[in-house]
Structure 1
Amino acid sequence: MKSERYRRTAGVLLAVLALVATAVTPAAASHQSKPRPTIVLVHGAWADGSGWSKVTRRLQDDGYQVRVPPNPLRNLGSDSATVRNFLATLSGPIVLVGHSYGGAVITNAATGNPNVKALVYVDGFAPAQGESIFPLAGADSALAVDPTTVFDFVPYPGGPPGDVDLYLKHDTFVTSFASGVPRREAESLYPAQRPLTLSAGNDLSGTPAYATIPSWYVLGTGDRIITPTAQLFMATRAHSTITRVPAGHLSLVSHPGQVANVIEKAAKATR
């Protein structure tokens, strides 16, 4: 009798467990099946993709797929189209990250792309429609002075009449652009800077992606290129989640752990 009762009790328990598993497992499986987003890092002016190396390593160590496409730095419209075309080759969700001028590029490149689930600005420009980047740097920016004192002007073939490549002068690069970065490292970055064209700095931005895509913003409180006040204005206007970092313009170099943490928060929010 007892053994029969135990068998019946066990049968009832198994039936209940089966019902629970049927009810719970699909939802849990659905949640777990959502893929991690690919993180795309876009560099800005006077830099290249290697500036993201410390951040990239941390993201990869945490299991994220990372891509760092080149930003041509020629024209805001064509630079954005270059990144937009690159994004079209990726499948699944994307977290799109832009530093400095790269922020203006992602603002335009992500517009209309349903796979881009989050934007992250790192000391970046976040222009509204019809704005150009140079006026957005702030009245106290190291760039808001006589341009001949901060730039070396280099003509380039095939450019519009009067257009030039802008290279940062040594002192501006080391003391303002790379402020907060160890001097030896700043000196090593200076020779390899990639120039931005004068026209790119004055191109007008299009419909901003942050109007429809949630955004995060890493604000460097010691930034001398895009002032903290200017960054706060743009981040607030974009309704970004703001993280302040005690860094200069190259927080991705001097504070890569904090930058990576913000990117991962944005990535987790998409799942």
Structure 2
Amino acid sequence: MNGKPKIVLLHGAFADGSSWSAVIEGLQARGYEVTAPQFSLTSLADDVARLRQVLEWQEGPTLVVGHSYGGQIMTALGDNATNVVGLVYVAAFGLDEGESLAALGGDAPPTAALAHLLVDGRGFGRLPEDDFVGHFAADVDPVRARVMHAAQQPVSMAVFGDVMGTPSWRSLPSWYLVAADDEAIAPEVERMFADRMGAETVEVASGHVAMVSHPGAVVDLIEAAANATAGAPVEAAPA
């Protein structure tokens, strides 16, 4: 044990754990033990169960970091987040009780990244390459963005209708990275999330996948959260 919290990184929809590669490298170089699990994106309940499984593997205090829909997963931990000492949102959803992703935008048109979402007969959505490269990963090198598109995980559209219970950020300290040039989640919505959860907030001139285009800023925010929560008492994870 080196006194540092464990770090668990949650990918969002249309992505996978490899989207955190540069952040993992940066955190490991600073002495952190990192886990970046894959999520099925088949239902919010399945994804929360997967996160709880991963948290059981961690020994000691743990920071959970979520990007985009990954924020929805960690928010849904509620007030039962064993061994979690803090939450870091990276251009991520941070809903409050009674809210759903579908209702969040009201009657507003979809953001540019989601304007041409492709939904198959089984109810799973994915992004066409042009929108992925041009909007979802707008400030990523196009060659890298096309690789990310090829590896994207489709998401069950059912997750957009799930209503949030008690959000975990009500009982845990939170940090938020606002991606000021985001074309998937409107930056003003990200600022609203950060403000109402009372998160320590940084704003970066980044597109949606800030952990790919600005990994240093993401690593710095995670380390700030780690330093702020050092020594925080936690309930032991179940055996």
Normalising by structure 2, we get a TM-score of 0.90
Specify the alignment match of 1:155 in structure 2.
Answer: 121
AA aligned to 1:187 is R
Specify the alignment match of 2:199 in structure 1.
Answer: 240
Contact kept, 8 Å, 2:24 with 2:34, in 1: the verdict is yes
Distance in 1 between residues matched to 2:21 and 2:50, nearest whole Å: 21
AA aligned to 2:120 is V
Distance in 2 between residues matched to 1:211 and 1:109, nearest whole Å: 11
Distance 1:65 1:118, change over 3 A: same
241-250 or 174-183, larger mean C-alpha shift: 174-183
Tell me the number of residue pairs that the alignment of Structure 1 and Structure 2 aligns: 229
Specify the alignment match of 1:20 in structure 2.
Answer: none
AA aligned to 1:196 is V
Which aligned pairs between 1:163-174 and structure 2 lie closer than 5 A? 164-174=123-133
Contact kept, 8 Å, 2:78 with 2:166, in 1: the verdict is no
Distance in 2 between residues matched to 1:89 and 1:186, nearest whole Å: 32
Distance 1:269 1:137, change over 3 A: farther
Distance 1:222 1:141, change over 3 A: farther
Contact kept, 8 Å, 1:137 with 1:230, in 2: the verdict is no
Which aligned pairs between 1:106-145 and structure 2 lie closer than 5 A? 106-109=74-77, 111-136=79-104, 139=108, 141-142=110-111
Q: Percent identity?
A: 39
Q: 1:103 aligns with which of 60, 71, 77?
A: 71
1:82 matched to 2:41? The reply is no
Once the two structures are TM-superposed, the CA of residue 263 in structure 1 deviates from its matched residue by 0.3
Contact kept, 8 Å, 1:71 with 1:102, in 2: the verdict is no
Q: Which runs of 5+ in 1 are unaligned?
A: 1-32, 157-163
SS of structure 2 residue aligned to 1:216: strand
Contact kept, 8 Å, 2:101 with 2:160, in 1: the verdict is yes
SS of structure 1 residue aligned to 2:192: helix
Can you list the C-alpha shifts for 1:223-253, whole angstroms capped at 9, x where unaligned?
0110110000111111111100100100000
Once the two structures are TM-superposed, the CA of residue 71 in structure 1 deviates from its matched residue by 1.5
Which aligned pairs between 1:1-271 and structure 2 lie closer than 5 A? 35-109=3-77, 111-136=79-104, 139=108, 141-142=110-111, 150-156=116-122, 164-271=123-230
Contact kept, 8 Å, 1:110 with 1:116, in 2: the verdict is no
Give the structure with higher Rg (CA).
Answer: 1
Can you list the C-alpha shifts for 1:187-245, whole angstroms capped at 9, x where unaligned?
22111111111101221122101001000001000001101100001111111111001
Distance in 2 between residues matched to 1:50 and 1:201, nearest whole Å: 24
Normalising by structure 1, we get a TM-score of 0.80
Distance in 2 between residues matched to 1:111 and 1:123, nearest whole Å: 22
AA aligned to 2:35 is R
Q: Which runs of 5+ in 2 are unaligned?
A: 231-239
AA aligned to 1:65 is E
Distance 1:141 1:240, change over 3 A: farther
Higher relative contact order (CA 8 A, sep 6+): 2
SS of structure 1 residue aligned to 2:198: coil
Distance in 1 between residues matched to 2:218 and 2:109, nearest whole Å: 24
Q: Deviating runs (4+, > 6 A) in structure 1? A: none
Distance in 2 between residues matched to 1:52 and 1:151, nearest whole Å: 23
